[in-house]
Amino acid sequence: MARLDTFPVSFKVAGRAILIVGGDDEALAKARLAVKTSARVRVFAETVEADFSGLEIEMVERPVEAADFADAALVFIADHGAEGERAHALAKVAGVPVNEVDVPEKCDFYTPAIIDRAPISIAISSEGAAPVLARLVRAQIEALLSPRLGAIARLAGAMRDKVSAALADGGARRRYYEALVTSAAVEAAVDAGQGEAEADRLLDAHAAAESGEGVVWLIGAGPGAEDLLTLRAQRRLQEADVIVHDQLVPAAVIEMGRRDAERISVGKAKGHHSFSQAQINTLIVRLAREGKKVARLKSGDPMVFGRAGEEVAALRKAGIAYSIVPGVTSALAAAADTATPVTLRKVSSGFVFATAHGADNTDLAHWASLAQSGLTLGLYMGKSIAATVAGDLLAHGLSPVTPVGIVVNAGRADKALYSGTVGAMAQDAIDFADGPAIIFIGHAVASGDWAQAAEIAPDVKRTA
């Protein structure tokens, strides 16, 4: 088995200095790292080539001297000439660890890629072998961590005495801290500068119940590509004890949850009503009452045709904590896929996202006039009734030459595009690819990029 040649430690620099020798871009890069700490950062350079402005450093425009090492914790040498060598020798005498930038054999220590959520820090090192890989790993870990992690860690630190007083049992204290650092309410309160008040409130609740509280997060999974999910959605999925998901949410997204999280599919794909809405409401309330963290995962955005209104009403009635994580709704994914501006200066002053399924005559008359006046319609749940809807819009006065664009499987690799006019769509000739679809209607649609689209024409039958 490969062994580490370096030992990761957290080196104390508070109240001391970090010295940087050199004035070029390499020196600047190290200065940027060094200013993340509370150490004094002193840059020694006779000629300053890089732009150090905006960094809290002391620029010393003379050669470094033995006395400068007296309070130095670390030194970075970015000068690879005689001056650098002299500085290295002085550091050795003073016993200060040296990093010669990009010269591993002359380094006493390496600088890892750092994730800084002070007081929490995470260092990723490849012992100099693959810094690019270390940076990629850092990006992946960054994506998992709340930007408020540091503030929450400080908050947890500040609560220590109060927690010891309020909760005698070690297990109860641990449960409190777990709740504190993962609570959506605390996170929101920290943002609003109310972190301590919320932490106190949570402590009262724990002292009363001496157990964790359940919560439900309504999470938008986006249109189906695993990288069209928000970072917050990803984090919540990893915190959840149970993931309750709809049929349309792809497996790759559900997989993002913790390995040991329970997963419950509640169906709701067209034609497969495995759970009624009432049963789903009851389920999420019951799970939260058991003290579980429930991720209620919905395709697209949870507030758009997701029946979130009913679920939220049930949670409020039951007094259960909840929060909502938005997602990319499929109509906007379809707009992105086809570079279609749903609003366009002088053409479309707005957009209407509506469901074609269940629309009545009054709805259709209303939309026809909106589209006629230039607004872009984005119709959900309309694939199987596309021709009927188009016919009705025509009957209500929409011009037959109004552009139409349809995206099946928006945001996914297997998307299929169709474009034409309302007049052509009314003639029932489209042999759609399998999958959910968004139907755009309106003049702005013509400004999109539909070059890859199959033409909607009465005589064209095709699968994409």
Binding site for ligand SAH (CB under 6 A): 223-224, 248, 298-301, 304-306, 329-330, 334, 380-381, 407, 409-412, 436-438
Catalytic residue among 246, 301, 337, 392: 246
Computed from CA positions of residues 50, 54, 56, 61, in that sequence, does the dihedral angle turn out positive or negative? positive
The type of residue at 219 is: I
User: Which residue, chain included where needed, has tokens 């390995």?
Assistant: 259
Query: 41 has which bridge partners?
Result: 18
With CB atoms as reference, the residue minimizing the distance to ligand SAH is 300
User: Smallest distance, Å, CB 112 to ligand SAH?
Assistant: 40
State in angstroms the smallest separation of the CB of 401 from ligand SAH: 24
Q: Which two tokens stand for residue 310?
A: 């009913």
d(Cα 409, Cα 418) in Å, to the nearest integer? 12
Catalytic residue among 268, 293, 298, 415: 268
Using the minimum distance from each CB to ligand SAH, give the nearer residue, 37 or 329: 329
**Selection from 27, 18, 110, 21 nearest residue 72 by Cα:** 18
CB of 301 to ligand SAH, least distance (A): 4
d(CA 444, CA 342): 6
> Of 330, 306, 285, 317, which Cα lies nearest the Cα of 219?
306
Of the two residues 128 and 326, which places its CB atom closer to ligand SAH in the complex? 326
Smaller CB distance to ligand SAH: residue 298 or 396?
Answer: 298
- CA 185, distance to chain mean position in Å, is 18
Rounded Cα distance, 249 and 257, in Å: 13
Minimum distance of ligand SAH from residue 270's CB (angstroms): 7
CB of 364 to ligand SAH, least distance (A): 17
| Alpha carbon separation from 221 to 20, 77, 165, 325, 413 (Å, rounded) | 46, 47, 41, 9, 16
Nearer to ligand SAH, 391 or 411 (CB): 411
Of the two residues 109 and 432, which places its CB atom closer to ligand SAH in the complex?
432
| In the complex, minimum distance from the CB of residue 307 to ligand SAH, in angstroms, rounded to a whole number | 9
**How far apart, in whole angstroms, are the C-alpha atoms of residue 177 and residue 155?**
10
CA 285 – CA 315 distance, rounded (Å): 6
Q: Closest distance between ligand SAH and the C-beta of residue 216, in Å?
A: 17
| Alpha carbon distance 332, 225 (integer Å) | 13
Give whichever of 272 and 289 is closer to ligand SAH, judged by the CB atom. Answer: 272
| Residues 6 or more apart whose Cβ sits within 8 Å of residue 122 | 114, 115, 138, 141
**Helix, strand, coil percent values for the chain (each to nearest 5):** 40, 20, 40
Residue 79 or 301 having the CB closest to ligand SAH? 301
Q: Which residue has the tokens 């990629």?
A: 136
> Is 68 a known active-site residue?
no
Q: Is 268 a catalytic residue?
A: yes
| Contact predicate 207/258, CB 8 Å | no
Catalytic residue numbers read 246, 268
